[in-house]
Each structure stands twice: as C-alpha cells, then as structure tokens.
C-alpha cells in the first residue's frame, strides 16, 4: 500500500454518478437499474469510519446488507428487508472514466499500474486489480481502496472503500 501526502492520480470518489462521501445529502442507498441489471450500493458505517460504493450485478452483495433485490429470493419476508430504489443509474463508470466492460489494458491506460493484482472467487475465476493509498497518521489516517474485478477479460464489478481510523 502506498502512502503519500498528495492523493494519487487514480484516486476517485465517484461511481455510477454517486459519491464516496458521508454527509446529510449522501446516505446509505441501494439502486437497481432494471435496464442494465446493475446495482449500485453506498454504505456508511454508523460513525462514518467506513464508507463504500459497489457497482455490481451480483445480487448477493446488497442482499447481505439487508436489501430486497427484485427477483432475488432470500427466504426472508419483505418487511424484514430494506427497499431497493428502482431507477436508472446515470452511468456504469467512475469519475475517471473506467467503465463496466473495460479490459485490464484499458483500466491501466486510465489509472496506471495497480498496487496489486490477485485472483478471487471460489474457483479463482475473477481477476482483481486493487489500488490502495493511505493518508494521515495514527488515529487520523484513512485508507482508500479501489478494486476492479474482471471476468473473462472484462470489467464486471467496481468497489470503492474508504476506511478511517478516527477515534
């Protein structure tokens, strides 16, 4: 993980038109775009120590956070789950122009080399390009992680995470 005072060029805080911020205007949300089948989820830990954005088609992701995803059976009643907002997403890309469907080469041309590349999935069928950066020191530091997941050479999922160690 790299740590420097100036944010790296790859650092982004915008995904599918939503921001990686915690304030009164930007709260927890899960949006399902029926046309594309993609889901955008923004989650904020109650103290704001962890904020994340994920853009995916994997309906297990929002289901684990208590959202009802249309057409996805959870075994729980709707009254036990949070509602997903049904509306079109403004885009399937980041603020830096990385778009669902891109190749690893396209990603690297926009953002540069990742901090690390790793395999994931039960059969290691996914390739994750992970970018990490930390700022601050001690109890005031924050770590930013952007993970771009590829399957068969195409970008299928994007995750942004900000974790703060503020006391």
Say if 160 falls within a structural domain.
yes
pTM: predicted TM-score of the whole model, two decimal places: 0.88
Contacts of 107 (CB under 8 A, 6+ apart): 98, 129, 148, 155
In a domain, 106, yes or no: yes
Is residue 129 assigned to a domain?
A: yes
Predicted local distance difference test score (pLDDT) of residue 61 = 80
Chain segment 64-106, per-residue pLDDT in tens: 777 876 666 555 555 445 778 889 999 999 999 999 999 999 9
Asked if the structure places residue 118 within a domain, the reply is: yes
Segment among 23-27, 77-81, 121-125, 158-162 with least mean pLDDT: 77-81
Higher pLDDT, 23 or 107: 107
**Domain range for 150:** 14-164
Percent of the chain with pLDDT over 90: 62
- How many domains does the chain fold into? 1
In a domain, 4, yes or no: no
Q: Between the ranges 25-29, 99-103, 162-166, where is the mean pLDDT highest?
A: 99-103
Mean pLDDT taken over the chain? 87
Q: How confident is the model at residue 6 (pLDDT cuts 50, 70, 90)?
A: confident
Max CA distance (Å), the chain: 48
Residue 107 is assigned to a structural domain of this protein: yes
Confidence of residue 27 (pLDDT cuts 50, 70, 90): confident
Confidence of residue 166 (pLDDT cuts 50, 70, 90): low
Q: Is residue 2, in this structure, part of any structural domain at all?
A: no
Q: For residue 32, count other CB atoms closer than 10 A to its CB.
A: 24
1 in a domain, yes or no?
no
Position 75 scores a pLDDT of 55
Whether residue 2 is predicted with pLDDT greater than 70 in this model: the reply is: no
């Amino acid at each position: 993980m790299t740590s420097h005072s100036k944010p790296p060029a790859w650092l982004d805080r915008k995904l599918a038109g939503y921001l990686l911020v915690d304030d009164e205007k930007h709260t927890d949300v899960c949006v399902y775009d029926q046309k594309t089948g993609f889901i955008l989820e923004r989650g904020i830990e109650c103290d704001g120590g962890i904020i994340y954005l994920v853009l995916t088609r994997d309906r297990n992701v929002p289901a684990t956070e208590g959202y009802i995803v249309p057409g996805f059976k959870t075994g729980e009643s709707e009254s036990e789950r949070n509602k997903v907002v049904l509306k079109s997403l403004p885009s399937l890309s980041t603020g830096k122009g990385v778009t669902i469907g891109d190749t690893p080469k396209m990603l690297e041309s926009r953002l540069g080399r990742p901090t690390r590349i790793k395999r994931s999935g039960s059969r290691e069928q996914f390739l994750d390009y992970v970018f990490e950066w930390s700022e601050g020191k001690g109890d005031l530091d924050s770590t930013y992680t952007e993970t771009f997941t590829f399957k068969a050479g195409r970008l299928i999922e994007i995750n942004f995470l900000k974790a703060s160690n503020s006391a």
